[in-house]
Amino acid sequence: MVGGFPCLDNNDVGGTALSRHPVGQLRQVVLGQLLEFALVEPWEPFDAVLREVGHQLLTGVIERDMANRQEKMLVLEEVTGADDDIVGTAGVDVDDETLELAELRAIDAIHLEGPGTDLTVGLLPTSHWNGGGDETVDGILHMANLPTEEVFTSPDPQRAEGVVRATKPLYTQGRIIDGLTVRFEEGRAVQVDADSGAETLRALLDQDDGGTRLGELALVDREGRIGPLDTVFYDTLLDENAASHIALGSAYESAVDESDTDRLNRSTIHVDFMIGSPEVDVTGITRDGERVPVLRDSSWQL
């Protein structure tokens, strides 16, 4: 997720390795146009930029995100105990059974289990699930990342236990990190291994104290556009839409209430890597210890 573009850095955008990659070249052109118009008021020229890079494709993404992703986000909000007014104002139909579950259950943690993965990530009391949309200070709704296939939240940085294996390569700092495995104890990544590039990620995480703790947990189902392509673009802004993922480093204040902002993870980095696949089950754990299926075979169960 790119709220405020925390996962964009100079090495990522301007690095020679990425600039030689076709996707990197396209990204630099698109980012250049977006940044040129970013401060223009009103934002009508932004639509012209979208037309240049594929208006029909991108508007289709927006329509589908608003129709499908928001519905899943709202169901997750309900299960985590969010205000029922959210459902009413969004005009999303949620059946009585789901509403009943919402009243009885509040997810306290997410458990991911699959090949090489057995990880439990705890949530903060006010953690809630957001989509890719955001609002400017002037009240203009926009999508910072297109396409956006995720619902995400900021977890409790003190509560991550177990091991997780990346399901896709990670590109960062000009290096490809393949076969990544991370072990967590009491919220901190205590072991980072990979088939290649592990030393690059270890050095990145060592930049500050928050680099080894989680700042994001995002869920992605199989109905998106990026995942079915079965293609690694070596660009986080695209690849993170292919599968559920976590991020080491800085968290998002927008995903918790003010009462929990002081508990969020703080860091100068935000490194997303993909951990989801049809073989990885995602289960919610309520405060009473009840287990609620969330994703099975990368399909929503809520």
The DSSP symbol for 178 reads B
Strands (E), the chain: 107-114, 117-123, 133-135, 141-143, 151-153, 155-165, 170-172, 175-177, 181-185, 188-193, 214-219, 245-249, 270-274, 281-286, 291-296, 299-300
Cβ pair 145, 132 in contact under 8 A = yes
Model-wide pTM > 0.75: no
Number of helices (H) and strands (E), helices first, in the chain? Answer: 9, 16
Residue 4 within a domain: no
Tokens 């990342």 sit at which residue? 145
- pLDDT, tens only, 237-272: 888 989 999 999 999 998 899 999 999 999 999 999
**Residue 111, pLDDT above cutoff 90:** yes
Residue 211 within a domain: yes
Residue 136 within a domain: yes
Residue 24 within a domain: yes
Residue 2 within a domain: no
CA dist 177 to 18, 36, 95, 173, 229, Å?
A: 14, 32, 43, 10, 21
Question: Which residues constitute the domain of residue 116?
Answer: 10-300
Total number of domains in the chain? 1
Residue 1 within a domain: no
Tokens 């959210």 sit at which residue? 86
- More reliable by pLDDT, 69 or 178: 178
Residue 86 within a domain: yes
Residue 114 within a domain: yes
What distance in Å separates the CA atoms of residue 84 and residue 94, rounded to the nearest whole number?
11
- pLDDT, tens only, 175-219: 999 999 999 999 999 999 999 999 999 999 999 999 999 999 999
Choose among 53, 62, 1: nearest CA to 31.
Answer: 53
